[in-house]
Structure 1
């Protein structure tokens, strides 16, 4: 399996590389902004570019049969802009599978099932900017004929993978308060190898 990885230098991206390398049967090609970026993958598989540039994303995805995005919102519209390029490049290069990291805010609220969590009293966050950007990506993917999965962790402290956690389709597991970066990467790898949530969101927490 050849993976096109965006967001490789972020916490989840780095943890995913570490998790994947434990098993050693996939090649990871990573898009990074700086030519001097050091990652624990062969240098020839590190591509310098920007996720906001269509040609850079296309160059990355041309090398892969699966796309993994661990991109964050970056304080602007980087996430939705990058997703536009990801979708376009996946179609161009006939790549069907995409797993992306979202946020628990775009899961359905238990209190108000017709609303996202970030729109309801269920969410404790005061700012909704990042959640709105993630919701935009979810709505973009709903309109596409791709085999996507959005993994939606709640609060993400640092920590290694224990491999024991809860997950639930479309909702955050009840009373879920956190999930480590390591276990988020563990679940990402698990979904990559054994898909359970194709064209679904999945909430992740302890």
Structure 2
């Protein structure tokens, strides 16, 4: 497969990049600073640019089969700016599959039907702004007509993959409190390769 990877220098993106190259896939990584990517391989193409640029996304989209986006909010509006541009570029180049990493805050609340987890009365207010960004990105993907998946980890400490975790469509697995960066990257990569969990949010936790 040929992946376009956004967020390749982040905690999750770095691991996905390494795994995809190890498995023999082609990867185009759109990055702001090439020197932040330490891996080099014949199958890796680094495109210096910005996910919020139509021209840069078009340059990176050539020959791609599937998009994996590990973009974070960066405390601003990166997701709400980049997502519609990404959708437009994918449609222009005939790419239909996209897997993104979101947050458990945009999953459905078990205790408060009809609300997302971050909208529930007992949610942490400190994460509200980021959750709103992720919700808007998810809403745009859901309306796009693309084959999308939003992987939604809960608390995300650094750590290697343990391999034993739970995944559930639209909800966070009951009682789940954390999942490592390693397992989040492994799951996101597997979903992209296998084409599973299409057109849904999927919560992951131990």
Q: Give the whole-Å Cα distance in 2 for the aligned partners of 1:36 and 1:54.
A: 22
1:115 maps to what in 2?
115
Q: Give the whole-Å Cα distance in 2 for the aligned partners of 1:121 and 1:156.
A: 22
2:31 maps to what in 1?
32
Give the TM-score normalised by the residue count of structure 2.
Answer: 0.94
Matches within 5 A, 1:1-206: 1-22=1-22, 24-42=23-41, 45-206=45-206
SS in 2 for 1:138: helix
Give the root-mean-square deviation of aligned CA atoms.
1.4
Distance 1:52 1:141, change over 3 A: same
Structure 2: 5+ residue stretches without partners: none
Question: Which string of whole-angstrom CA distances, capped at 9 and with x for unpartnered residues, describes residues 34-53 of structure 1?
Answer: 24333313376011001111
Give the TM-score normalised by the residue count of structure 1.
Answer: 0.94
Distance 1:195 1:35, change over 3 A: closer
State the 1:63 CA deviation: 3.3
Tell me the matched-pair count: 205
Greater CA deviation, 34-43 or 171-180?
A: 34-43
Structure 1: 5+ residue stretches without partners: none
SS in 1 for 2:36: coil
State the 1:125 CA deviation: 4.5
Question: Which string of whole-angstrom CA distances, capped at 9 and with x for unpartnered residues, describes residues 113-146 of structure 1?
Answer: 2011000035335330000000001111111110
- Indicate conservation of the 8 Å contact 1:4/1:63, yes or no: no
Q: Give the whole-Å Cα distance in 2 for the aligned partners of 1:154 and 1:164.
A: 15
Give the ranges of 4+ consecutive aligned residues of structure 1 lying more than 4 Å apart after TM superposition: none
Q: Give the whole-Å Cα distance in 2 for the aligned partners of 1:2 and 1:174.
A: 35
SS in 2 for 1:45: strand
